[in-house]
């Protein structure tokens, strides 16, 4: 069973070109699954796994406190693994065939309102080089909905200044193009022209956003910046870099954008991943109706 799993990981890495972070996440989930089969169920043959065993595994990791997103990632990892097993004729039937996506475990993404976003974006100001850089990073994050890993990996060639588009390298090495918007464009342009040369400190790097040492940001470093400004803004709810991505999507849909367009800008390969934001939008519509309609 472990040998089959190793072969599958090699397939994901070499043939599918899966990103290293995703591969590591899937690896943890699938190794946990195999360990559960062998230690808890005493199963050594993949042919002996029934749908009940799969459900028992998912129930166990849910009861252990696994987050909703992690639950669904684990199920996605299992689905991919079983497709591989069928293709390689290692099994004859897929026990996952009749198991629905764990919607009951799917937590709606945390978002903030447009007004709250405006307050956070105003926090850095433009009174110092660091403030100019932080404003540009926050504005670009909200304007494009990119992931924090994508933001800190941007290079000087990632922006097409002539047409105002951002070229993003997403998961699995997939490239996508996202419009920037005037405010984020102007803030980023100012950072590049006035601030970045000072932070560069004669270092040879094409990374767009630099820390005070003239190096590429870490995820943790930027996470601290976002959390700090959210507290400074006096928001009661928790705000993280990914909150900007969630809010970007929900605000677009609230404004009338179609789901397919939002999917493309977020870089989702499956539109069902994007559809979770429609739940957020419906909740917002209900809230507005109840607040402002005379019969609400």
Does the annotation mark 245 as catalytic?
yes
Which residues, listed in sequence order, are joined to residue 159 by a DSSP beta bridge? 166
User: Which phi and psi angles does 47 have, rounded to 5°?
Assistant: -70, -20
Instruction: Tell me which of 28, 32, 176, 242 is the catalytic residue.
Output: 242
Active-site residue among 26, 82, 142, 277? Answer: 277
15, two tokens: 């043939």
Query: What tokens were used for 71?
Result: 């639950």
Say how far apart CA 214 and CA 255 lie, in whole Å.
38
Q: Pick the catalytic residue: 147, 196, 246, 251?
A: 147
- Closest CA relative to residue 168, chosen from 183, 160, 178: 178
3-state class (DSSP) for residue 107: coil
Estimate the share of the chain in helix, then strand, then coil, as percent rounded to the nearest 5: 60, 5, 35
- Please, what sign has the CA dihedral across residues 10, 12, 15, 17? negative
Could you give the CA distance from residue 35 to residue 186 in angstroms, rounded to a whole number? 53
Which of 93, 83, 98, 141 is CA-nearest to residue 117? 141
Nearest to 123 by CA among 237, 230, 244: 230
Cα-to-chain-centroid distance, residue 159:
21
Distance of CA 53 to the CA centre of its chain: 30
Q: Does the CA dihedral 16-19-25-28 come out positive or negative?
A: positive
The catalytic residue among 196, 245, 246, 251 is 245
Question: Is position 147 annotated as part of the catalytic site?
Answer: yes
**Residue among 133, 246, 251, 268 flagged as catalytic:** 268
Q: Please name the residue that has the structure tokens 């996470």.
A: 223
Catalytic option among 32, 171, 190, 216: 171
Strand partners, 177: 167
277 is catalytic: yes
Contact 184, 35 (CB under 8 A): no
- 16 catalytic? Reply is no
Which residues carry out catalysis? 147, 171, 242, 245, 268, 277
């Amino acid at each position: 069973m472990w040998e089959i799993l190793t072969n599958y990981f090699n397939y994901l890495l070499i043939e599918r070109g899966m990103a290293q972070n995703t591969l590591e996440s899937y690896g943890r989930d699938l190794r946990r699954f195999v360990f559960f089969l062998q230690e808890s169920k005493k199963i050594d043959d993949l042919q002996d796994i029934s749908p009940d065993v799969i459900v028992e595994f998912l129930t166990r990791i849910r009861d252990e406190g696994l987050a909703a997103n992690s639950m669904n990632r684990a199920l996605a990892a299992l689905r991919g693994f079983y497709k591989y097993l069928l293709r390689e004729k290692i099994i004859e039937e897929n026990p996952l065939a009749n198991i629905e996506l764990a919607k009951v475990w799917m937590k709606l993404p945390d978002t903030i309102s447009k007004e709250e976003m405006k307050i956070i974006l105003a926090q850095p100001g433009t009174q110092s080089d660091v403030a100019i850089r932080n404003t540009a990073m926050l504005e670009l994050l909200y304007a494009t909905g990119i992931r924090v890993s994508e933001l800190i990996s941007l290079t000087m060639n990632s922006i097409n200044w002539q047409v105002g588009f951002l070229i993003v390298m997403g998961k699995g090495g997939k490239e996508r193009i996202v419009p920037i918007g005037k405010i984020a464009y102007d803030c980023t342009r100012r950072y590049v022209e006035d601030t970045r040369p000072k932070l560069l400190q004669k270092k040879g790097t094409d990374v767009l956003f630099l820390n005070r040492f003239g190096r590429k940001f870490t995820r943790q470093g930027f996470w601290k910046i976002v959390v700090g400004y959210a507290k400074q803004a006096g928001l009661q709810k928790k705000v993280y870099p990914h909150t900007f991505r969630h809010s970007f999507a929900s605000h677009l849909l609230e404004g009338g954008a179609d789901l397919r367009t939002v999917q493309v800008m977020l870089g989702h390969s499956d539109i069902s991943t994007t559809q979770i934001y429609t739940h957020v939008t419906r909740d917002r519509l209900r809230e507005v109706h109840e607040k402002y309609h005379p019969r609400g």
